[in-house]
Amino acid sequence: MIGDFEHVTFGQRVLFGSGRAAEHVAAEVARLGARRVLLVASDRDERVAQRVSSGVDVAARCSDVRPHVPVANAERARQLASDVDADLIVSIGGGSATGLAKAVALTTGLPILAVPTTYAGSEATNVWGLTEQARKTTGSDDRVLPATVVYDAELTLSLPSALSVASGCNALAHCVDAMWAPRVDPVDRVLAGEGIGALAAGLRAVHADPGDLAGRERMLYGSYLAAVAFASAGSGLHHKICHVLGGAYDLPHAATHTAVLPYVLAFNGPYAPDASERIAAALGSDDAVVGLLELYAELGASHALRDVGFAAADSAEAAAGTVAEAARLILPAVPPGNPRPVGEEELTALLDAAWAGRPPTSVATTGAA
């Protein structure tokens, strides 16, 4: 049975083509009628950015790209946009570059043309984030949804193997968490299922050969589907946990998502049988958690939070204090509609298992829920 639902499809143009980023960017800038482009790209991406924007008149380049968009950086970029009277922002880079472009769009209303170089997926959402004094604030606003996304898998060939795996698992997390997120609908579930299949196949191919362009294309396609599903469904338990951990303990975004995902899947899965079935099928396994762990084992992906810097140097006894503190911080953010009731005890057990990297199945029956 389908039942009643409301689904919002965002208006966005997507151009997908390997080796075609410069051509697509020039054509889109012309179509949008822009004459004063503010280019947002980090110094690391300078050469790529020059190549991709070669057919465009760039009024100014902002290279002030930092993780989680510090407010001071956003204000400098906004000032630059105003100084050159920009009429379009072209962002080239990972989620941090897209995030800075979104911060400018949020206050100026300028359109964004996004050219992603990771699998973070920010380019397909209307979600923005800003960080001030170690506190990350996020919100949604349609002004920050890029007008156009240009996907070119060749731009992701330079992503180191470990970053490719973490970034791809971050996209997988968008799909898995979308399955039970607050606004999930039947369309999101289909997008998320297709995304998981594409990402798993792409991750395997890229792990075996980082130069496998077809594998990179599957990952990029999967990360787009993941982001569309996530943007529509909203943040579920997994994203709330990672958001708090990332902000409060300054953990790396993609690797934190990678570590936490198997635990949230094992925790929620038994209470969300339809989601579990879809995830298992997309992973080509009889069981969602087993399928995900087999993929992690093949990719050499870690699901221990201490490996990504959470209470990293601590003994189990000392880490217990940080785990308990994190559980208390996360509790108010737990989505009310989560398929399984979540209390402080359950969160503590989940984080404790994730800190040590214990088998995720250990959290399936935790607590009285």
Over the window 57 to 96, marking each residue x when it contacts ligand NAD by CB under 6 A and - when it does not, the resulting string is: ----------xx------------------------xxxx
CB 67 to ligand NAD: min, Å: 5
Q: How many residues bind ligand NAD (CB under 6 A)?
A: 26
Over the window 297 to 336, marking each residue x when it contacts ligand NAD by CB under 6 A and - when it does not, the resulting string is: ----------------------------------------
Nearer to ligand NAD, 125 or 232 (CB): 125
Nearer to ligand NAD, 45 or 352 (CB): 45
Nearer to ligand NAD, 35 or 183 (CB): 183
3-state secondary structure labels for all residues of the chain:
CCCCCCCCCCCCEEEECCCCHHHHHHHHHHHHCCCCEEEECCHHHHHHHHHHCCCCCEEEEECCCCCCCEHHHHHHHHHHHHHCCCCEEEEEECHHHHHHHHHHHHHHCCCEEEEECCCCCHHHCCEEEEEECCEEEEEECHHHCCCEEEECHHHHCCCCHHHHHHHHHHHHHHHHHHCCCCCCCHHHHHHHHHHHHHHHHHHHHHHHCCCCHHHHHHHHHHHHHHHHHHHHHCCCHHHHHHHHHHHHHCCCHHHHHHHHHHHHHHHHHHHCHHHHHHHHHHHCCCCHHHHHHHHHHHHCCCCCHHHHCCCCCCCHHHHHHHHHHHHHHHHHHCCCCCCCCCCHHHHHHHHHHHHHCCCHHHHCCCCCC
Which of 129, 195, 197, 222 is in the footprint of ligand NAD by CB under 6 A? 129
Q: Is 234 in the site for ligand NAD (CB under 6 A)?
A: no
Q: Is 42 in the site for ligand NAD (CB under 6 A)?
A: yes
Which of 82, 107, 137, 158 is in the footprint of ligand NAD by CB under 6 A? 158
Q: Is 198 in the site for ligand NAD (CB under 6 A)?
A: no
CB 232 to ligand NAD: min, Å: 12
Q: Is 163 in the site for ligand NAD (CB under 6 A)?
A: yes
Q: Is 236 in the site for ligand NAD (CB under 6 A)?
A: no
Q: Is 12 in the site for ligand NAD (CB under 6 A)?
A: no
Q: Is 44 in the site for ligand NAD (CB under 6 A)?
A: yes
Q: Is 127 in the site for ligand NAD (CB under 6 A)?
A: yes
Return residues touching ligand NAD (CB under 6 A).
42, 44, 67-68, 93-97, 99, 117-118, 120-122, 125, 127, 129, 155-156, 158-159, 163, 167, 253-254
